[in-house]
Amino acid sequence: MDTVILSDWLAVRLATRRERGDAEPAYRQLLRLLQQAILTSQLPPGTKLPSSRTLASDLGIARNTVLHVYDQLTAEGYVLSTTGSGTYVADTRPDCRAVKVHKAAAAGGSVADAARPTDFMESEARDGADAARRTSDMAHPSRPTGMRELSARGGRLIREAGVSPKQWGAFMPGVPDVSEFPARTWSRLQAKMWKQTHPDLLTYAPGSGYRPLRRALSDYLRVARSVNCTPDQIIITTGIHQSIDLAVRLLTDVGDRAWVEDPCYWGVRSVLQSSGLALAPVPVDDEGLNPSESDLRAPPKLALVTPSHQYPLGMVMSLARRRTLLEYAKQHGVWIVEDDYDSEFRYGSRPLASLQGLDDAGRVIYVGSLGKMLFPGLRIGYMIAPEDLVDTFRTGVAELYREGQLMQQAVLTEFIMDGYLTSHVRRMRALYGERRQMLIDAITARFGDSLPVMGDEAGLHFVLGLPHQANDRAVAAAAHDAGVIVRPLAAYYSGEAAAQRGLLLGYACVPNEKIGPAFARLAQVIEQTSLQARRRSPHAA
Amino acid sequence: MDTVILSDWLAVRLATRRERGDAEPAYRQLLRLLQQAILTSQLPPGTKLPSSRTLASDLGIARNTVLHVYDQLTAEGYVLSTTGSGTYVADTRPDCRAVKVHKAAAAGGSVADAARPTDFMESEARDGADAARRTSDMAHPSRPTGMRELSARGGRLIREAGVSPKQWGAFMPGVPDVSEFPARTWSRLQAKMWKQTHPDLLTYAPGSGYRPLRRALSDYLRVARSVNCTPDQIIITTGIHQSIDLAVRLLTDVGDRAWVEDPCYWGVRSVLQSSGLALAPVPVDDEGLNPSESDLRAPPKLALVTPSHQYPLGMVMSLARRRTLLEYAKQHGVWIVEDDYDSEFRYGSRPLASLQGLDDAGRVIYVGSLGKMLFPGLRIGYMIAPEDLVDTFRTGVAELYREGQLMQQAVLTEFIMDGYLTSHVRRMRALYGERRQMLIDAITARFGDSLPVMGDEAGLHFVLGLPHQANDRAVAAAAHDAGVIVRPLAAYYSGEAAAQRGLLLGYACVPNEKIGPAFARLAQVIEQTSLQARRRSPHAA
């Protein structure tokens, strides 16, 4: 392309863009077109560009604009300018050695073809073909297919992902009623803290979080959860996921076995697997984790349990089982991660003391979060590290995640110290208890006691058992179409064989007046689905 | 221990605690003592506890307190109460099978010794011995030593950790001046957003962040960094660490090779290694990443680069090298993670277009953060995923990290839309440019041009070269004792052999008036250390 053709080519393209209503400034349009032409070798290395004055008059734009574009092209290495001799296209082709030759050419020498490593030869040939295909627009870049697969662990993570795109509505489990959160109080405390902010609170966190918050949390947890810890043992994280991830990366290696409860929370499975752990699902019964003789014969490196309220079934791990697990962990060097989620919301029953409080061998890492008590978007959680690992965990959290958010932690501390946390939790406990009862009443009114309710003593959800022949995944899908979110219990199991059939129903985030109508829709779905199932297998119980 | 002895034993311990000034309420003290006595078998299974009336009068406390303690012990499974027959210590020893037998005993039967799995026998014997040692206090729990080691990856992470406990002061690199952040403006926008908050903004993020923020960021990045993306391609993360972690977990498997620049940012090394990647350090020269023939023969799965401002040396990757890398990645299916940190702060030079903008094969994952532009504690970053991987990345971020913080993202969006981001960055660019010049002037005044300054064209730090015989680690340690933070350049290299000697000096967060005095202290340390080094090796140059 000589310089006259170049001017025409540019003029046509600029005009086309203007006609299409492209509001991009002339500067950026011209820059892009020239970059594109150079990258696709429509302007090959060594080509002399028209002078800025000529190009400006050819295109009918300000000379300053062209000068700016040339400057930018020079700064980015697309062209080389030599005083007096003009502006030349640089060789930016994928071969560093060739660049120097063309620098010489631009300075007045001849364009020599330098030898290239064979590795890059094939690609240059392809480059030419590509350029022809691409014409002048980058809008639809060609993409090689066939190497777009994720890695094995990435593929598994995505295939088995449990996260739901919706995080709100009847009967989304595990979500508190954030519309009840005292936003005005929070906002007031926030404004107060931002008035007196200190640089230290705006930069990275030093690894374990805002100290007054750690003090407040250790006081709270010692009384409410019988944990046995000093403020120093508390590490602030962004929640359960990060806490577990940290424990896994510090205490386990790729290929190590981890016990998880069967069923368990999907997030735990994803975090552990993507860190290279081999999951060993261990069954639960009405006393909690119930390892078989063969489970016991192969001690895991780590066991992840939810003793205060098994997720998702809701039973409480018995004291005997707790002591068994602790003793086993002590003997075999197993790390126990105690996920104490939801323990604040109990209806009637008293909570058992935490495993952490019973542990005399420093094998328990206790993890919890404030999201369900306040609002999930807050992303503040905590873990209690065994005393002799505190420094390690502090370093680990700073090194791996480089956390901050100290201002938010300071606001939270005020919120706790002023008593708003406990009064909010108390109010929510009453509200959720009421909603739980409304939902149970609706179930009983419709189904009598033919469908069992499990794990309703605590938390933000319970499990509604389904008849044996019912397919809970099908019910959940049909419910979704009817505008009701329920999670199939089977999805929480390691495999279909072990799976009980049921639905997770979250009631906490559903306004009282919506519980009845939403359940009516769900009930209809359940009835239709089981009717269909019964028709298909008329001899089933 | 019979019940009279028990009363005495409890009375003594309660009195001792009161004398020591233990302010814990009687209820909790009594509960703890009884739990402890049961756990250590000082009160063996089947023991009948005194009646609440008797114990209350023996201890001189309210009967209600004792009743509450017994209730709690019953709820927690430590004791079994049978109407009429009294309260018995339950068998909570580490053997689930034995529990049922003792339940029978408490109900009036005889205490039978059930058979136990051999696995637990030894531990029970030890339990008794332990109990004797422990007496009645849990203050100093005995901890088995010898199995406290971290995992191999955990140990390596902690041993090689680069994170500093201090995040502020002269000459901390990589930290902006947060005291200049317009906190009042931020606070005002925050208050405004909290007034009109919507439940959706308080719960979990749906996987890619607040949409208006993604739109604002894609507009910003298209203009400022020549990236080529739609708002949909933007995934909001908590920063560079999380962005890299996500890419690694989705696109690589354990054992895959990753190219990292040598030297590189410590955090990258830690994140990649703890996800099981094998690091292949690739040297850099003044055009950026410079793989050798043997590097090229073994294509990595992923390459992590800092083209706009090599970290920590500060050179810019040339356009030729950029195209070479992209072509190589396209041919060999390499994922490129482009870390475009610090690109907003340039003094004089214009930035090169991003690799992402040049990529026509969808191989580049672009990552950046707002921490250095605003304040690091904010923890909001972003990544640009290739178009066909957007859904995958969205699912991945929600599944692995369960993020939230949408309110903060909404505040940030207002901040950007109202123009505060660009005006703050412009102001900071001028301020940091001034500080950079002051520090360079101080260096020149003291050392002439004997110590080279590298990478001062952009960013929040530069590298001060040291004489070859100087030990930069020793200088940094001595500087630390003199109250000046500097990072030794050697610490950023994969090994001592490849390492250049120098000091990273961050100037952005140092108030103008402190630059001179702090550098004077540092200069003295440098002179003393090199003097000592010269004395040790008198024949060195």
Mean pLDDT of chain A: 84
Neighboring chain B residues of A322 at a CB cutoff of 8 Å? 92
Q: Do B376 and A93 touch (CB under 8 A)?
A: no
Q: Which tens digits make up the pLDDT trace of A416-429?
A: 999 999 999 999 99
Q: What angle, 0 to 180 degrees and rounded to 10, lies between the N-to-C axes of helices A152-159 and B240-251?
A: 100
Q: Do B256 and A151 touch (CB under 8 A)?
A: yes
Bridge partners for B64 per DSSP: none
Residue A377 has pLDDT above 70, yes or no: yes
Strands (E), B63-164: 79-82, 86-89
Q: Is there a contact between B172 and B506 (Cβ–Cβ < 8 Å)?
A: yes
CA A540 and chain centroid, separation: 42
Tokens of A341: 């989620």
**C-alpha span between A449 and A436 (Å, rounded):** 16
Residue B124 has pLDDT above 60, yes or no: no
Quickly count: other Cβ atoms within 10 Å of residue A513's Cβ.
9
CA distance A444 to chain B (A): 28
C-alpha Rg value of chain A to the nearest Å? 32
**C-alpha span between A169 and A185 (Å, rounded):** 25
Q: Which of A510, A509, A500, A519 is nearest to A447 (CA)?
A: A519
Measured between CA atoms, the residue of chain B closest to residue A334 is: B147
The per-residue pLDDT for B132 is 33
Q: Is there a contact between B189 and B524 (Cβ–Cβ < 8 Å)?
A: no
Highest mean pLDDT among A40-49, A519-528, B126-135, B203-212: A519-528
Residue A394 has pLDDT above 60, yes or no: yes
The per-residue pLDDT for A462 is 95
Neighboring chain A residues of B39 at a CB cutoff of 8 Å? 323, 358
The per-residue pLDDT for A6 is 78
Q: Which of A151, A166, A175, A208 is the best residue to mutate to test the B interface, defined by the most B CB atoms within 10 Å of its own CB?
A: A151
**C-alpha span between A532 and A523 (Å, rounded):** 14
The per-residue pLDDT for A9 is 77
Measured between CA atoms, the residue of chain B closest to residue A409 is: B377
Residue B129 has pLDDT above 50, yes or no: no
Residue A173 has pLDDT above 70, yes or no: yes
Q: Which of B365, B402, B485 is the best residue to mutate to test the A interface, defined by the most A CB atoms within 10 Å of its own CB?
A: B402
Neighboring chain A residues of B293 at a CB cutoff of 8 Å? 117
**C-alpha span between B136 and B42 (Å, rounded):** 9
Strands (E), B466-509: 487-488, 502-506
Q: Which tens digits make up the pLDDT trace of B235-253?
A: 999 999 999 999 999 999 9
Q: Which tens digits make up the pLDDT trace of A303-346?
A: 999 999 999 999 999 999 999 999 999 999 999 999 998 878 88
Residue B344 has pLDDT above 90, yes or no: no
Cβ pairs bridging A and B (under 8 Å):
376
**C-alpha span between B219 and B234 (Å, rounded):** 11
Q: Which tens digits make up the pLDDT trace of B422-454?
A: 999 999 999 999 999 999 999 999 999 899 999
Q: Do A377 and B256 touch (CB under 8 A)?
A: no
Q: Is there a contact between A221 and A384 (Cβ–Cβ < 8 Å)?
A: yes
Q: Which of B259, B306, B305 is nearest to B455 (CA)?
A: B306
Residue A123 has pLDDT above 60, yes or no: no
CA distance B467 to chain A (A): 30
DSSP B320: H
The per-residue pLDDT for A2 is 62
Bridge partners for B282 per DSSP: B261
Q: Is there a contact between B401 and B238 (Cβ–Cβ < 8 Å)?
A: yes
The per-residue pLDDT for A349 is 65
Measured between CA atoms, the residue of chain A closest to residue B183 is: A194
CA distance A249 to chain B (A): 6
The per-residue pLDDT for A126 is 32
Phi, psi for residue B276 in degrees, rounded to 5: 90, 10
Please report where in the chains the tokens 């499975």 appear, as a residue: A269
Q: Is A143 on the interface with B (CB under 8 A)?
A: yes
Q: Is there a contact between A167 and B204 (Cβ–Cβ < 8 Å)?
A: yes
Q: Is there a contact between B292 and B498 (Cβ–Cβ < 8 Å)?
A: no
Q: Is there a contact between A46 and A90 (Cβ–Cβ < 8 Å)?
A: no
Q: Which of A167, A257, A294 is the best residue to mutate to test the B interface, defined by the most B CB atoms within 10 Å of its own CB?
A: A167
Neighboring chain B residues of A96 at a CB cutoff of 8 Å? 287, 290, 318, 320-321, 324
Q: Is A140 on the interface with B (CB under 8 A)?
A: no
For the residues of A359-379, what is the DSSP string, one character each? -SSS-EEEEEESTTTS-GGG-
Residue A387 has pLDDT above 60, yes or no: yes
Bridge partners for A338 per DSSP: A305, A366
**C-alpha span between A325 and A331 (Å, rounded):** 10
Q: Is A336 on the interface with B (CB under 8 A)?
A: no
> B114 falls in which pLDDT band (50, 70, 90)?
very low
Q: Is there a contact between A412 and A381 (Cβ–Cβ < 8 Å)?
A: no
Residue A104 has pLDDT above 70, yes or no: no
User: What's the rounded mean pLDDT across residues B210-216?
Assistant: 94
Q: Which tens digits make up the pLDDT trace of B5-24?
A: 777 778 777 877 777 766 67
Q: Which tens digits make up the pLDDT trace of A483-507?
A: 999 999 999 999 888 889 999 999 9
Neighboring chain A residues of B199 at a CB cutoff of 8 Å? 168, 178-179
Q: Which of B10, B408, B368, B422 is nearest to B190 (CA)?
A: B408
Neighboring chain B residues of A90 at a CB cutoff of 8 Å? 319
The beta-carbon neighbor of B200 closest among A72, A78, A168 is A168
Neighboring chain A residues of B320 at a CB cutoff of 8 Å? 77, 91-96, 98-99
Farthest CA pair distance, chain B: 95
**C-alpha span between A223 and A226 (Å, rounded):** 6
Neighboring chain A residues of B508 at a CB cutoff of 8 Å? none
Q: Is B323 on the interface with A (CB under 8 A)?
A: yes
**C-alpha span between B229 and B150 (Å, rounded):** 42
Q: Do A151 and B253 touch (CB under 8 A)?
A: yes
Strands (E), A374-510: 381-384, 453-454, 461-465, 487-488, 502-506
The per-residue pLDDT for A142 is 36
Strand order in the sheet with A487-488: A453-454, A461-465, A502-506, A487-488
Q: Do B163 and A360 touch (CB under 8 A)?
A: no
Cβ under 8 Å to B: A residues 419-478: none
Please report where in the chains the tokens 């598994």 appear, as a residue: A156
CA distance B101 to chain A (A): 13
Q: Which tens digits make up the pLDDT trace of B356-403?
A: 999 999 999 999 999 999 999 999 999 999 999 999 999 999 999 998
Q: Which of B31, B78, B96, B157 is the best residue to mutate to test the A interface, defined by the most A CB atoms within 10 Å of its own CB?
A: B96
Cβ under 8 Å to B: A residues 56-85: 71-72, 75-78
The per-residue pLDDT for B469 is 75
Q: Of A192-201, A272-281, A453-462, B3-12, which range is least confident? A: B3-12
Q: Do B251 and A90 touch (CB under 8 A)?
A: no
> B57 falls in which pLDDT band (50, 70, 90)?
confident
Neighboring chain A residues of B350 at a CB cutoff of 8 Å? 71-72, 75-76
CA distance A511 to chain B (A): 12
Residue with the larger pLDDT of the pair A142 and B426 = B426
The beta-carbon neighbor of B323 closest among A94, A175, A239 is A94
Residue A103 has pLDDT above 50, yes or no: no
Q: Is B151 on the interface with A (CB under 8 A)?
A: yes
User: What's the rounded mean pLDDT across residues A90-97?
Assistant: 62
Farthest CA pair distance, chain A: 96
The per-residue pLDDT for B539 is 56
Q: Which tens digits make up the pLDDT trace of A31-56?
A: 888 888 888 777 888 888 888 888 88
Tokens of B437: 């010049």
CA A491 and chain centroid, separation: 19
Q: Which tens digits make up the pLDDT trace of B216-231?
A: 999 989 888 889 999 9
Q: Which tens digits make up the pLDDT trace of B486-538?
A: 999 999 999 888 889 999 999 999 999 999 999 999 999 999 887 777 777 65
Q: Is A498 on the interface with B (CB under 8 A)?
A: no
Residue A212 has pLDDT above 70, yes or no: yes
Q: Is B92 on the interface with A (CB under 8 A)?
A: yes
Q: Do B72 and A350 touch (CB under 8 A)?
A: yes
**C-alpha span between B268 and B287 (Å, rounded):** 21
Burial of A334 (0-12, 13-18, 19+ CB in 10 A): buried
Q: Do B178 and A199 touch (CB under 8 A)?
A: yes
**C-alpha span between A336 and A318 (Å, rounded):** 16
For the residues of A286-352, what is the DSSP string, one character each? TTEE---HHHHHS--SEEEE-TTS-TTT-PPPPHHHHHHHHHHHHHHT-EEEEE-TTTT-BSSSPPP
DSSP-based three-state secondary structure for B366: strand
The per-residue pLDDT for B369 is 94
Preceding omega of A165 cis (within 30 degrees of 0): no
Instruction: Return all residues near B123 (Cβ < 8 A) that are at least 6 apart.
Output: A327, A330, A331, B94
Q: Is B143 on the interface with A (CB under 8 A)?
A: yes
Cβ under 8 Å to B: A residues 238-257: 238-242, 249-254, 256
Phi, psi for residue A471 in degrees, rounded to 5: -100, 105
**C-alpha span between A41 and A49 (Å, rounded):** 14
Q: Is B39 on the interface with A (CB under 8 A)?
A: yes
The beta-carbon neighbor of A96 closest among B150, B271, B320 is B320
User: What's the rounded mean pLDDT across residues A80-102?
Assistant: 64
